[in-house]
Structure 1
Amino acid sequence: MAENIAAQSAVSSRGLGLSTKMPAFFHVLEDQWDPTSNPQGIVNIGLAENALMQEEMKGFLNSHLNVESHALTYGDGFSGSKRLRESLCHFLNRHFQPHVPLSPSHMVATAGASNALECCAWALCDPGDYILIGRPYWTTFRTLLGNRASVNVLDVNFDGVDPFSSDAVELYRETYMQAIKKGKKITAILLCSPNNPLGRCYSPEILCSYMRLCGELDIHLVSDELYALSVWENPTMEDPDQFKSILSFPSESLMNPQKLHVIWGMSKDFGATGLRIGCLISQFNTRFLNACESISLFSFPSSLADNAVAKLLADDSFTDHFISLNRARLSENYRHVTTTLSDHGIPYTQSNAALFVWVNLGAMTKGHGATDADILEILNREKVYVTSGLTYASEQPGWFRIVIAHPKHVLDEGLKRIFGAMLYYETRITK
């Protein structure tokens, strides 16, 4: 008891609180499966990393990373070099087709998209404010918004309503009204477009509806477009919506353009989570960007990564080929995984975007009432890592997210272990 008290006194109350919020997947990174060097390790098909394009990315970086003295300094400031922001504008103007062309003054560069989102929490919200997010969603948003900036997430429940429909937009309105009656201050809607974990895009009509709603409620709209270019062909999906950036609409006719903000980064579309380059775009709110600049010391991207990404995004030939090849490989892997799931009678939702499939493993328990925690326990036993609906505030139990952006031998090993785990559960429960 005395030792426990002594240990607690060694850190602040704030430190004690943060120590319980360690990311749950660090143990996976320390013991990743390799068929040769670590065959007993954990097969990681849970983290949203894109491993399909690493050879192409390594080839470009190794042949183009010519370090200059400028890259070893504080450069042009803490929010990205002039060259990086010019390259980001060039690239995003080509692929996002903004209604008002982007210029470097419209953005700040950050050490990844997570930093960009935390900048929104600091500069758009006061401590205790709420941001609306529709379920299911990546619950690490709560960590990014809350751990340091003390901004809360308020879930929007759909109760069976299609999350991509106009009815869903109205549920945001209802949730907002109910929260205001309870004295909560709602600052913004955070929209993940394309959606994580559902892997679908919003139609242009629905995106405009969200903008109109934010205009009517006079709140901010933050569009997280991290998977924008990871949209691929799914021949079995009837007339799927394609990605359209919120920047491509005439925002001034739909909402207060000062309250529209977009986040993008290199981690998903370019399979480069380790480069830590993201950007926060706000075309009509210089004061907001200045506020982000004021805390840019805490989101300062590496000058070496800055240098490499600036060269990469300016190379149209390379990026066009990279994006096309990435989409083809994602499409192929989607078909591979979903065919295997179908062969084993496992339901999944149709998708055509991002890096994953939303899978109903709970359906394999045949009505035995298995919880997500029960299924995770047996998956851990088989040393395969996927993330459960609990991680995404899912309204229905039994749903899990499987990342498809891995070489097929990794996917096959992971799926084999999932099927083995579920068979073990059925054998144990029916004894």
Structure 2
Amino acid sequence: MSHQSDSLHKPCGQIKGQGLKTQKPHPRVMELIMRLRQIVNEYILQLESRHQQEELQQEKQQHSQNIRDQEAILVHLMCEVVNLLHSGASSSLELQLPQLSQDSRGDAGGGQQAQSSREPDQLSHQLRDLKTAFISCDLSNRGIDVSALYQSNFQDFIAYQGDKYHEDKNTLGFINLGLSENKLCIDLLTERLSRSDMNYIDDDLLQYPDWRGHAFLREEVARFLTYYCKAPERLDPENVVVLNSCLSVFLTLTMVLCDPGDAFLIPTPFYSGFSLTSDLYSKVELIHVHLQSKITEANTQPFQLTVDKLEKAMVEAKFKRKKVRGLVLTNPNNPLGDIYSQDSLKEYLEFAKRHNLHVIIDEIYMLSVFRASIPFHSVLGMESLPDPNRTHVIWGTSKSFGISGFRFGTLYTHNKEVASAVGTFGFLHSISGITQHKLCRLLQDREWIEKVYLPTNRSRMQEAHRYITNNLKTMKVPFLNCGSGLYIWVNLKEYLDPCTFEEEQLLYRRFLDHKLLLAPGKACKCKEPGWFRLTFTDKPQRLEVAMERFSEVLANVKQDWVEVQLADAMAEIVSSPVHQAASSSSSGYSLENFDPFYF
């Protein structure tokens, strides 16, 4: 951990129109959550009962209708929670919750006290819109799940897309330090992608490609990975599959290696996209191997992954009758930024072999190591893999090359059967031929990569990382001080009171209210509340404004606590016998003359 004892900065600037304070849960929100819990429990009971009565067709039909009724109420309630919490967090007004009808409110108490600020006709219109949008649109159960997933995961990103910060045109717009994107070398990439060799079109590029990717790109990817992964022998282009993002590669691997309900072990915290895709497509369970920040005899560094923890997770999974098919790793790690040693990698792979597990290892950040003292070791560079047929590597250009808009991800596996199965998904997840040509030309230009791009990118990453970490040290904010990745894992537990995930979400919303997006630890399935991922690979001017907003939010949290403490102290003084006696005396002493700052 890096930590300094300097005092907090005062806010560098005030963002006008931003004033949302942290609020305790609204009584009506708590009422709605309690009712939502009740509906979920009833729904689960209905499902359990259905399995016991399948042989009775008539009862089953009636039962299915009951389930559909429960689902309608459940979706209705969930949509209200999402929309109302979002609207409440997006303004400086206190969250107002509309009244629920008696049939959707049940017997929850306190419902009559909390009145809505909206007129009854406005409320009815809003509820009708909700039903039309989410219940009466003929979505399947799977469609409802997808819609809920969209609502819960992308609303803030959509708000950012519609209101981006711009140095001249929109200085009060959102700055997104929650998204892992590298914007430091856009100038270099723009120049390189504008050269004449990029502007090439022929018949093949305009037609359907080989679903695994054009042969010319797969050959170049094999050469590229052979060189940068330091592979002991030339990698085979027939083992390469090209799809439209690393997440597409991941989800297709889960599809071809698992059946619905199977599981993968995955250390936490981890990249939130893994959860999203496994839920959205393959229905593969991710069993969390929780790591902790505290340094102990068993943990010589924060969030350390050991084989003992993997073995324990495996035993617990077997006890719960889970069918574990594999292990998912990211190296360099996202969101921690650390790098697995070669010895550790070998231990993880040997553990997987003992249990006949596949290993999916995402190495997308392998060229985003900016501290030379920390070497990166690719599994493709190992002299011998414990189980080569069950080891599958993911890589792409989105992070290190800052071209996430190209939508390129690649798989390298020694298992030709897996490569063939994953390649089939290119029918749905391939990249345009023109983009494949540009990617091939970019990866072929080794001189530009080695002499221009990588040195400049590394230097700019070091400078940006130094700027952010110096600010964090000045504000006495602890962080994990690693030398790779596009982000910093920041510890803001001190600003949570109490230290819970509810308070973490409220702090996240404070940042959002100041038009600053960060990634909260809960999204990465971190077991400990209070951690945030902060991306530092942005332009210097935006980083400066972002850190002003960051500092202002933390200062506001501290100020709120001071005000609460002063109010409590005043209340205690007012209620004390000494004050009551003084107030009843004729001395003329009055609390109105009392200055709390001299107390």
TM-score with structure 2 setting the length: 0.68
Q: Residue 382 of structure 1: which of 498, 511, 514 is its match? A: 514
1:81-160 matched pairs, under 5 angstroms? 81-159=214-292, 160=294
Displacement of 1:313: 0.4
Say whether 1:169 aligns with 2:307: yes
Equivalent-residue separation in structure 1 for 2:376 and 2:159 (angstroms): 34
Match of 1:278 in 2: 409
1:86–1:164 Cα change, 3 Å: farther
Q: 2:83: which partner in 1? A: none
Q: How does 1:180-259 map to 2 (within 5 A)?
A: 180-233=318-371, 241-252=374-385, 254=386, 256-259=387-390
CA distance in 1, matches of 2:431, 2:384: 29
Residue 423 (structure 2) pairs with residue 293 (structure 1): yes
Residues 85-121 of structure 1, C-alpha deviation per residue, up to 9 Å, x if partnerless?
1111121111111234212101100101111111111
Q: Secondary structure at the match of 1:357?
A: strand
Q: Partner of 1:20: helix, strand, or coil? A: helix
Corresponding residue of 1:78: 211
Q: CA 1:410–1:83 in 2, change beyond 3 Å: closer, same or farther?
A: same
Q: For the structure 1 residues 71 and 415, does the alpha-carbon distance in structure 2 shift closer, same or farther, using more than 3 Å as the test? A: farther
CA distance in 2: counterparts of 1:3 and 1:86, whole angstroms: 53
Distance in 2 (CA, whole Å) between partners of 1:182 and 1:163 is 30
Residue correspondences, number: 422
Asked if the contact 1:388–1:400 (Cα under 8 Å) also holds between the matched residues in 2, the reply is: yes
| Structure 1: distance between partners of 2:389 and 2:520 | 36
**1:308-323 residue pairs with structure 2 within 5 A?**
308-320=438-450, 321-323=452-454
Question: Quick one: distance in 2 between partners of 1:32 and 1:330?
Answer: 22
Query: Amino acid of the residue matched to residue 315 of structure 2?
Result: M
Residue equivalent to 2:145: 17
CA distance in 1, matches of 2:301, 2:277: 23
Tell me by how many angstroms 1:16 deviates. 1.1
- 1:124 is displaced (CA, Å) by 1.0
Q: Are residues 1:413 and 2:545 paired? A: yes
Q: Quote how far apart the aligned CAs of 1:21 are.
A: 1.0
- Distance, in Å, in 1 between the alignment partners of 2:329 and 2:405 is 24
State the alpha-carbon separation in 1 of the partners of residues 278 and 465 from structure 2: 32
Distance 1:289 1:167 in 2: 29
TM-score, structure 1 length as denominator? 0.93
- 1:303 shift after superposition: 1.4
Preserved contact between residue 291 and residue 304 of structure 2 (Cα < 8 Å): no
Residue 494 of structure 2 corresponds to: 363
1:403 to 530, 535, 541: 535
Is the alpha carbon distance of 1:401 and 1:304 closer, same or farther for their aligned partners in structure 2, counting shifts above 3 Å? same
SS in 2 for 1:148: helix
Tell me the SS of whatever aligns to 2:288.
Answer: strand
How far residue 167 of structure 1 moved from its aligned partner, in angstroms, is: 6.2
Secondary structure at 2:311's aligned position in 1?
A: helix
**Moved >6 Å (runs of 4+):** 163-167
> Secondary structure of the equivalent of 1:221?
strand
Q: Which residue of 2 aligns with 1:47?
A: 179
User: Partners in 2 of 1:398 and 1:165 — Cα distance?
Assistant: 14
Higher RCO, Cα 8 Å, sep 6+: 1
Report the Cα offset of residue 9 of structure 1. Answer: 3.7
Of the three residues 395, 414, 433, the one matched with 1:264 is 395
Specify which structure has the higher proportion of helix: 2
Whether contact under 8 Å (1:162, 1:168) holds in the other structure is no
Contact 2:265 2:287 (C-alpha < 8 Å) held by counterparts: yes
Q: Deviation string for 1:271-327 (max 9, x for gaps)?
A: 0100111101102x1111111122221211121210100001011111112122111
Per-residue displacement from partner, 1:147-184 (whole Å, max 9, x unpaired)?
11111111001344357898622201110121012110
State whether residues 32 and 41 of structure 1, in contact with CA within 8 Å, keep that contact through their aligned partners in structure 2: yes
Residue 29 of structure 1 is matched in structure 2 by 161
Task: Tell me the residue number matched to 1:325.
Answer: 456
Q: C-alpha separation between the residues in 1 aligned to 2:300 and 2:275?
A: 23
- Give the Cα separation in 2 of the matches to 1:215 and 1:74: 42
Does the C-alpha gap of structure 1 residues 104 and 167 become closer, same or farther in structure 2, counting only changes over 3 Å? closer
CA contact (8 A) 2:256 2:418 kept: yes
- What is the CA distance between 1:74 and its match in structure 2? 3.1
2:476 matched residue in structure 1: 345
Counterpart amino acid of residue 262 in structure 1: V
Structure 1 residues 321-362: Cα deviation after superposition (integer angstroms, max 9, x where no partner): 212211111111111110111111111111100101111123
Alpha-carbon distance between aligned partners in 1 of 2:209 and 2:487, rounded to the nearest angstrom: 37
Q: Which amino acid aligns with 1:193?
A: N
Moved more, 111-120 or 160-169: 160-169
Query: Distance between the aligned counterparts of 1:257 and 1:326, measured in 2?
Result: 33
Cα deviation 1:357-395 (Å, max 9, x = unaligned): 111123245x66472112112111111111111111112
Query: Residue type matched to 2:149 in 1?
Result: K
CA 1:3–1:52 in structure 2 vs 1: closer, same or farther (change >3 Å)? closer
* 8 Å Cα contact 1:80/1:109 also seen in 2: yes
Letter in 2 for 1:360: N
Question: For the structure 1 residues 162 and 123, does the alpha-carbon distance in structure 2 shift closer, same or farther, using more than 3 Å as the test?
Answer: farther
SS in 1 for 2:523: helix
| CA shift in 2, pair 1:153/1:163, >3 Å | farther
- Structure 2 counterpart SS, 1:261: strand
Contact residue 223 and residue 234 of structure 2 kept, 8 A: no
* 1:27-48 Cα deviation digits (max 9, x unpaired): 2122111121111111111100
> Is the 2:221–2:240 Cα contact (8 Å) retained in structure 1?
no
**Equivalent position SS for 1:194:** coil
Distance 2:518 2:143 in 1: 29
The Cα offsets for residues 191-245 of structure 1, whole Å up to 9 and x where unpaired, read as 00000011111000000001100111110011100100100127xxxxx532110
SS at 2:211 equivalent: coil
- Describe the shift of the 1:200–1:4 C-alpha distance in structure 2 as closer, same or farther (beyond 3 A): closer
More deviation, 191-200/94-103: 94-103
Aligned to 1:237: none
Gaps of 5+ in 2: 1-126, 564-599
Shift of 1:71: 5.2
- Structure 2 contact 213–426 (Cα < 8 Å) conserved: no
Aligned residues of 2:201 and 2:434 also touching (Cα < 8 A): no
